[in-house]
Structure 1
Amino acid sequence: MVARAIAGSISASTVRRWLAGDALKPWQYQSWIFIRDPDFRAKAGHIMDLYARISDGVPLGRDEYVICADEKTSVQARCRCHPTLAPGQARAMRINHEYDRGGALAYLAAYDVHQAKVFGRTEATTGIAPFMNLVIQVMSEEPYASAKHVFWIVDNGSSHRGKTAIDRLTSTFPNAVMVHTPVHASWTNQIEIFFSIVQRKVVSPNDFTDLDEIRDRLRAFEDRYNATAQPFQWKFTTSDLDDLLARLDRHTADHPEESSVALAA
C-alpha cells in the first residue's frame, strides 16, 4: 500500500481488519474425504441403530449392552522447566513453554453408551494384548459377564481390525459382538467424544512430573466422571444418515469430475 502510494502509512491492525472483511480468505480451509467403504451405509446404520437400542430391527433387551472402545496414543508427561502459575483475577494460567520429557503412555477406554460408564486403563503402548486387557477388564464384571450380548463398537485400528479380531473376541467371550465402524468414520464412535473431554479436562495443558501423575489424574477423572455423567445426547439417526448420503449422491452427480479424481486416487 505504501509502495504504491495508496496510503502514506498503514498499520498491521488495519490490514488485518481489511482481510477479515474480505470475501476471499485463502488462509482458511476445510478438509474432506470421500466415502471409500462399500458397506458404509450398512455399517454406519447398524451403529446408529445400536445407539437407539435396536439391533436387526429388534429392540435390545435389558441384558444387552453397547460399548464403544478405542485407544488414545502417546499421552506425554511434560515436566515444565519452571513452575506453572495458577490463574488469578483477570489472569489466565501461565505455562512455561520449555519442558523435559517424562515418557509417554497409551490410554485405553471403553464407554457404556447407555449407562454413561467409563472403564479405562493405561498401558505402555497400544496393540492386541493391551486392547484385550481392556476387554477382559470390562467383560469380567457384571452385568457384562452374564449379559446376553455386549456389542463392542471399534474402529479399524490394527489392535482390533478385521475378522481375526472378531474371532479373537468371540472365542474369549462368546457373548461379545464386535462391530466395526466404516473406514475413515471414527466420528460414529462415541468414545471419541469422551476422549475429547479427557484431552480438554485432563491432558491439557500437559504439565505432569511423570507418568504416575498421568495415571493418577486419569483414574481420578474416571471416578469423578462415573459419579456424575449422563449419556451423550446422540441425535444423528439412520434417517439423518440417509439424508447425508442422498446429499452426497446429488453432489457427486453435479460434480462428476470430483468422483473421478477420488477413484484415480
Structure 2
Amino acid sequence: MARTGRPKAELILSDAERAALEGWVRRRSTPQAWALRCRIILACATGASNKDVATQLGSTPHAVGRWRKRFVEHRIAGLGDMPRPGGPRTVTDEQVAAVVKRTLESTPKNATHWSTRAMAQEMGLSQSTVSRIWRAFGLQPHRTETFKLSTDPYFIDKVHDVVGLYLDPPERALVFCVDEKSQIQALDRSQPVLPMMPGVPQRLTHDYVRAGTTTLFAALEVATGKVIGSLHRRHRAEEFKKFLIKLDQEIPADLDVHLVLDNYATHKTPAIKTWLVAHPRFHLHFTPTGSSWLNLVERWFAELTNKRIRRGVHKSVQALEKDIRTWIATWNTDPKPYVWTKTADEILERLASYLNRIPDSED
C-alpha cells in the first residue's frame, strides 16, 4: 500500500555539515535546544521519517518536520531562531553562548556558584539579561541535587531480578517490599503549637524535646499496596526475625513469599539464614547497594513521614507508636499500590546515557 500524507523534504548532508553538527552534539557546553536540533538533522539524514525521529529523540513529528524544512531551505543557519517582531536584538548569539559556556564550565573566584549579579558583572550584561538566558536554557546554578551511583558488582543482575518481580511476579506468590524505618523520634515541641489562621501558617518552635525512639518494620504488598507493620524499640536481627514470623503468620500458607529488601547486616545473620532454611516458601531478593530507589516501600515511608511524623507532636514513644499504627490501619482501608513501569533494560540504558555525560565514570 502506498504511503499517504505530505512527503518529507529530502535531506542530504555535506561532510562539513555533518562534522559541525556532530561536534555540537558532543560538546558539553552546547545549549540543549541547539543540540536537539542538531540530533534531529543527523537522524533525518539517515532517511528516517519524521515520526521515527520524533520517537527516537523524544520530540514531536511537527517539530521534526519544521527543523527538517528549515535546514533544507537555509542549511545550518536555519537551525537558529528566526527574527521576531519588536525592537532589534541587543544581545548576540555569541554573547548568549558565552554566558551559557561560562555558567557551565567555570565558577567565580569568591563563590561556589554564579549568581545573576556576578555573571552580569563578569560578562558586561544586565542582570535581567543573564536571568532570561538562564531561564531559556534551564540553568539554575543556585540549586544542587544529590545522587549516588551503586558500586555493587552484581548491580545489573539485581536490577533485572527486582524489576522482574515488579513487572512479572511469579504465580501463586506474593511480592513484598520490606525495610525498616529506624530511629523514629517522638518529638514534643518546647512550646504549644500555634494553629493556622487566615494569612498565617501553622507555627511551631524550632526546638523540641526528645521523648525516645522506635523502629518500624514494614512490608508493602506490591500487588495491592497493603502494608504489614511491626514496631520495636530496637533494630537488630532478633527484631527482624520476629517480623518474619509475623509475615509467616499473616500470609496464607499456600502462597510463596518474595521479599525485596536491602543489604543491611541484620538481614543476613546466621539466625536469619537458619530461619529461612526452615521456611522455604520465603525468598529474599536484595537490591543493589546504594539503590534504595528500587524498593517501593521507601515511597510509602516518605508518605508516612510527610503526612504523620514530620509535623507530629508526641509526648511519648507510646503516643508515637499509636499514631503510626492508626495511620497504617487507615492506609489499609483504602491502599494505593505503587505501579512500577520502567523495564530493567530501560533503567540500565538511561543510566548508561547518564554515565556517558560525566567524567571518569568508567572508574
Return the offset for 1:33. Answer: 3.0
Q: Does 1:179 find its partner at 2:285?
A: yes
Aligned with 1:86: secondary structure? coil
User: When the two structures are superposed, what TM-score results if normalisation uses the length of structure 1?
Assistant: 0.79
User: When the two structures are superposed, what TM-score results if normalisation uses the length of structure 2?
Assistant: 0.59
Could you tell me which of 214, 222, 227 is aligned with 2:333? 227
- Structure with bigger gyration radius: 2
Deviations 1:171-191 (A, max 9, x none): 242100011001111100001
Return the offset for 1:98. Answer: 2.6
Give the Cα separation in 1 of the matches to 2:195 and 2:143: 34
Matched residue count: 235
Return the offset for 1:249. Answer: 5.6
Q: Is the 8 A contact 2:152 2:289 kept in 1?
A: yes
Give the Cα separation in 2 of the matches to 1:97 and 1:249: 41
Counterpart in the other structure of 1:64: 173
Q: Which structure features the higher share of strand residues? A: 1
Could you tell me which of 241, 255, 260 is aligned with 1:153? 260
| Relative contact order higher in (CA < 8 Å, ≥ 6 apart) | 1
5+ long unaligned stretches in structure 2: 1-115, 119-126
For residues 107-126 of structure 1, the aligned pairs below 5 Å read: 107-126=216-235
Give the Cα separation in 2 of the matches to 1:85 and 1:236: 44
Aligned with 2:227: secondary structure? strand
**Superposition CA RMSD, Å:** 2.7
Give the Cα separation in 1 of the matches to 2:314 and 2:259: 32
Aligned with 1:126: secondary structure? coil
User: 1:185–1:168: structure 2 CA closer, same or farther, 3 Å change rule?
Assistant: farther
For residues 101-250 of structure 1, the aligned pairs below 5 Å read: 101-143=210-252, 145-147=253-255, 149-161=256-268, 164=270, 167-248=273-354, 250=356
Aligned with 1:140: secondary structure? helix
User: 1:142–1:233: structure 2 CA closer, same or farther, 3 Å change rule?
Assistant: closer
Q: Which structure features the higher share of helix residues? A: 2
Give the Cα separation in 1 of the matches to 2:336 and 2:346: 23
Q: Is the 8 A contact 1:45 1:241 kept in 2?
A: no
Aligned with 2:181: secondary structure? strand
Q: Is the 8 A contact 1:68 1:111 kept in 2?
A: yes
% identical aligned pairs? 24
Q: Is the 8 A contact 1:155 1:186 kept in 2?
A: yes
Aligned with 1:38: secondary structure? coil
5+ long unaligned stretches in structure 1: 1-13, 55-59, 261-265
Q: Is the 8 A contact 1:66 1:152 kept in 2?
A: yes
Q: Does 1:74 find its partner at 2:183?
A: yes
Counterpart in the other structure of 1:90: 199
Q: Is the 8 A contact 1:76 1:206 kept in 2?
A: no
Aligned with 1:68: secondary structure? strand
Q: Is the 8 A contact 1:107 1:121 kept in 2?
A: yes
Deviations 1:74-93 (A, max 9, x none): 11111112211222333322
Give the Cα separation in 1 of the matches to 2:301 and 2:278: 27
Return the offset for 1:239. Answer: 3.1
For residues 28-43 of structure 1, the aligned pairs below 5 Å read: 28-43=143-158
